[in-house]
Amino acid sequence: MNMKEIHIDHNDAGQRLDKFLAKTFPNLGKSAMYKAIRNKKIKVNRKRAAFDQKLVYGDTILLFLPPDLLETRERQIVKLPDPQVVYEDNELLVLNKPAGLLSVKDAPGDQDTLNDRLLWWMSKTGRYDAKTELSFTPAISHRLDRNTAGLVLAGKNAKSSRELAEAIRERKIHKNYLAITRKRPKEGRIVLYLKKEQTMAKISETPQEGYQEAIMNVQVLEEKDGRVLSTVDLETGRFHQIRASLAYLGTPLWQDRKYGDPDGNGRYALQAWRIELEPLEDEKPTLDDPCAHLNEKTGSLIIELPESQRLSLNR
């Protein structure tokens, strides 16, 4: 029986003891963990611990367990192309995901994803050290579909990552999209109802069991050569909401074969070009960045893609 001592750092603080142990020691199963906590084989600050107690910076965990249960996970960081970082401050990163790139892995094995590009870049630039971090691994805070391009948020540490996740759950992050259709879409505030069925979204004009409200605002910007560029402001973030809603209304995205463009090749034209959110608790926004500014009325932070990279009818 060995004794292992762990000191809780900033990126480990703020989470439950059992969650921290599960991330840090993959060989320590749940039943063995809870039994060890009950039998005082795992202590916090040399006192009896509770499985759901919140860890704070500076806590010391003592583990009196066999060495094989206390092996840590070796994080594999693969060299990949650097992600395009549109904006960075002390807490937040905003990346530009190109169309065709997965946000996260969707199958076992080696895949190039935005999430792994983020991990590679943060490790390469010294923003993350896999050898010293026990439970925190950088990750994007939300996803875009493979062929949807645009802005994706990531926290630079565990605290900011948790705050972003909470803001997303509470719908405090607003995303605006640019979309190209073959016809002029319906404009204004559009209220429909959406249900996910396997890999497709089904739409209804009226409430039905199993359907969720799907609201978006559409404004046409430009028409040219049989195509139409519009802005889409989401009030809800449902599965394939923009693609399915526009298709239901008879104006599918240009090239979106899955949702009704018969001449499409699957590389549809949809881009998350603008994100607005309240600054995080300890965040110091970088307002000299040309891609960022504050909303004068609300104080929210706005990040936008440079105009040269926005979806356009001219490219």
Is residue 311 a contact partner of residue 178, using CB atoms and an 8 Å limit? yes
User: Which class in CATH covers the domain with range 182-267?
Assistant: alpha beta
Distance, in Å, from the CA atom of 273 to the CA atom of 149, rounded to the nearest integer, reads 8
Distance, in Å, from the CA atom of 22 to the CA atom of 101, rounded to the nearest integer, reads 30
Mean pLDDT by 10 residues, the chain (315 residues): 87 93 91 93 93 94 92 85 96 97 85 95 95 91 95 96 94 95 95 95 95 97 94 94 96 92 84 96 92 94 96 87
Indicate the CATH number for domain 2-70. Answer: 3.10.290.10
Tell me the pLDDT tens digit for each residue of 249-278: 999 999 999 998 887 787 899 999 999 999
Question: Rounded to 10 degrees, what is the CA torsion of 305, 308, 311, 313?
Answer: 160
pLDDT of residue 8: 94
**Is it true that 2-70 and 182-267 share their CATH fold?**
no
Distance, in Å, from the CA atom of 121 to the CA atom of 221, rounded to the nearest integer, reads 36
Please give the structure tokens belonging to residue 167: 């803001």
Q: At what angle do helices 30-38 and 17-24 cross, to 10 degrees?
A: 130
| Residues near 293 by beta carbon (within 8 Å), at least 6 away in sequence | 287, 302
Distance, in Å, from the CA atom of 220 to the CA atom of 120, rounded to the nearest integer, reads 39
Q: What are phi and psi of 96, to 5 degrees?
A: -105, 110
- Domain limits, the chain: 2-70, 84-172, 182-267
Is residue 201 a contact partner of residue 247, using CB atoms and an 8 Å limit? no
pLDDT of residue 315: 65
Question: Rounded to 10 degrees, what is the CA torsion of 165, 166, 172, 173?
Answer: -10
Is residue 17 a contact partner of residue 24, using CB atoms and an 8 Å limit? no
pLDDT of residue 126: 95
Fold of 84-172: Pseudouridine synthase (3.30.2350)
pLDDT of residue 218: 98
